[in-house]
Amino acid sequence: AQSVTQLGSHVSVSEGALVLLRCNYSSSVPPYLFWYVQYPNQGLQLLLKYTSAATLVKGINGFEAEFKKSETSFHLTKPSAHMSDAAEYFCAVSEANAGNMLTFGGGTRLMVKP
């Protein structure tokens, strides 16, 4: 069975600082991994996804994530936070033999201080 753990339900950074949101997964087969962002009163929007091609994945809004099989991790980073990055971020996993079902982590609320 697949599962996702996001360390830190709340992360606070200053504007311009590095953003690091942690995600660890458990999967019995090579996983597909996703990061979604949710702004207030909106649906989840895909930031980026890992599909077994390049291990460093670039997404929208300057975010990127690196798949590390040895650490079963898929941490999300951005070099310089903007106020507009304040939102909830969800890591999710699906397995090739488990159809389209996404299993989500608990989410991390990112706060950006001026």
Neighbours of 100 (CB within 10 A): 6
Residue with Cβ nearer other proteins (45 or 80): 45
The stretch among 10-18, 66-74, 79-87, 88-96 that binds other proteins (CB under 8 A) is 88-96
The verdict on 84 binding other proteins (CB under 8 A) reads: no
User: How far is CA 92 from each of CA 3, 80, 82, rounded to the nearest angstrom?
Assistant: 8, 23, 24
Which listed residue (1, 70, 99, 114) binds other proteins by CB under 8 A? Answer: 99
- Binders in 21-50 for other proteins, by CB under 8 A: 32, 36, 41-46, 49
* Chain centroid to CA 43: 15
Judged by CB under 8 A, the number of residues near other proteins is: 24
Give the shortest CB-15-to-other proteins separation in angstroms. Answer: 27
What secondary structure does DSSP assign to 60-89, as a single string? GGG-EEEEEGGGTEEEEEESS--GGG-EEE
On whether the CB atoms of residues 11 and 21 are closer than 8 A, the answer is: yes
Task: List contacts with other proteins (CB under 8 A).
Answer: 32, 36, 41-46, 49, 51, 90, 92, 94, 96, 98-107
